[in-house]
A and B are shown apart, each in its own frame.
Chain A
Amino acid sequence: MEKSDILKEVNEIYIDELDNDEIVLTFETSANDIDEWDSLSHVMLIVAIEKHFKVRFNSSEIRGWNNVGEMCDSIFNHIG
């Protein structure tokens, strides 16, 4: 799977989880750019992503993400 495909699927998960159809993610998007993405919803997103891609991140990986791009890299590394 290409990284851009991962981004598309992640985008769908965000729309679903955060209940906001207008979310358009880029690799540079961070929590500051999306109102609903805060430390409460963050973990719900992770759980949904893990379920969707059937992966399991470790906590230092999760801590390391600064934006959606880095998150997609992690996903890519797990499924690639």
Chain B
Amino acid sequence: MIFNSINYFLFLPIVFLLYYLIPNRFRWILLLVSSTVFYSIGGVETIAVPIIIIISTFVSAILIERNSDPGIKKRYFWLGLIINLGLLVFFKYINFFIATVFDGFEIVKKMSHEGLVNTYQPIELQLIVPLGISYITFQAIGYLIEIKRGSHIAEKNFGYFATYLMFFPKLLSGPIERAHNFLPQLQLEHKFDYDQVVQGLKRILWGLFLKVAIANRLALYTSAVLDNSEHHTGTTLLIASLFYTLQMFTDFSGYTDMAIGSAQVFGYKLTENFNAPFSAKSIADFWRKWHITLSSWVNDYIYTPIVINKRDWGKSAVVYAGMVTFLILGFWHGASWNYIIFGFLQGVILAIEFLTRKSRKKMRKHIPNWLNSIIGMCYTFLFFTFSLIFFRAYTASDGIYIVSKIFTDLGATFYMGDIGIFSYSLIGILIVAIQGIVSVYYPKFKLLNNDSRYIRFLTILFLVVYIISFGVFDGGQFIYFQF
């Protein structure tokens, strides 16, 4: 079930009413049951996968904790890890690996039998990728690592643990929640708190606005252009790529707002995933503000262990660990070379930023602060847009084609598509830009949380009217569901 579907707007109020009608001690059970229902609508054929992950992770965590022998601890840790990674790899990456290995064989064959063209096709398994598997496994793996390190106590209540991994507001695409942040909340008393519920509902409304009225709207234009890149000039591709960055942001942060808002309605607090990312002045800074729960996950469990381990290499350790981390982060998004290129580009730019830190600092001293900020923000936005071209492309060569067209063959004509659609896109971008600037620089003028109840009310009314008047309701999926 997706958040911007009618089904969700029938589902959420029902769960909400039941939740506050039943006694507190049963509420987590309702959340578990409704999360299972939520998963089943759209993914019932793969429900066994999260169940296996939950059971195996739950059991191995307890076994790790119970045994004092580090060797046995390690064995149980690896058992849990391999089940998680195995399922993830099997469902998400197996076809990619088969195809890659097959291509490798082909190359070898071609080299040895010059001229013999083989017509075998690689086997492709028809698999349904289980919903949210990347998110569920990452949370489960993080939990196992913490248990092994001894920094958390293993959860003994199976129901609680299942609710942690299945909690529907974050089930499909995060935030990637840490166990120590979520599990204690299950045992709190969740009284109906009017202010919290209203805040949550406002957040859902804002997320819906970002998704339906902005992201879906931008998608009409970006798909029309980027799916037919051979028919468009470099200028058009450039504009569409810039739009795509904004589409990605409004799509994913809109989803996240709806996720966090939905959790808040039940009295749960999820981790923020975005912190005004386009105010970042470097890519390193950007990744601390963009998809925060993923970047902090890879930071804690991939980057830091590697960099600490290899620290004798000095600066090379940082470059190496950063590269490995971002390659994995790219690959996490999907089994295809364009995501690997996306990760690789982040790794490269991060290394460059890291190695030029001191010289850039000296340079900055000669430039006024405000100009520094603007240059930094533009650079970050443009680089991220550049890397997203590969992210968006269906194949790596498609991405290279678009990039080369933008850089070598800009062309004078610009395709606007339907002027109606284009102008609504611009209005949407304007609203989001103003909102972003206001929330960072003039937080007092926030409309949705204004001091005046009338302004708050009118803002809500405006958002509802805007969504209904300009929303694109084709049930378009959130971009980040596929990962």
Contacts and interface: CB of A to CB of B under 8 A. Distances in A.
Q: Within 8 Å by CB, do A and B touch in the complex?
A: yes
Interface of A: 19, 38-44, 46-47, 59-60, 62-63
B149 A43 contact: no
A73 B89 CA distance: 42
A38 B295 CA distance: 13
B312 A19 contact: no
B311 A47 contact: yes
B306 to A, nearest CB: 10
A66 B357 CA distance: 25
B307 interface: yes
Nearest to B353: A40
Given A38-B288, A46-B308, A60 B318 contact: no
A41 B361 CA distance: 14
B288 A43 contact: no
A59 B284 contact: no
B77 to A, nearest CB: 15
Given A47-B312, A63-B304, 16 more contacts: A19-B357, A19-B361, A38-B288, A39-B307, A40-B354, A42-B307, A43-B307, A43-B311, A44-B314, A46-B308, A46-B311, A47-B311, A59-B309, A60-B149, A63-B149, A63-B151
B156 interface: no
A40 B308 contact: no
Contacts of A43: 307-308, 311, 317-318
A55 B279 CA distance: 39
B358 interface: yes
Contacts of B350: 40
Contacts of B322: 40
A44 B355 CA distance: 12
Interface in B332-391: 350, 354, 357-358, 361
A9 to B, nearest CB: 19
Nearest to B308: A59
A74 to B, nearest CB: 13
Lowest 7 CB-CB distances: which A-B pairs, in order? A43-B307, A59-B308, A40-B354, A43-B311, A47-B311, A19-B358, A39-B299
B305 A59 contact: yes
Q: Which of A19, A43, A60 counts the most B-chain CB atoms under 10 A from its CB?
A: A43
B369 to A, nearest CB: 13
B309 A40 contact: no
Interface in B278-332: 284, 288, 299, 303-305, 307-309, 311-312, 314-315, 317-318, 322
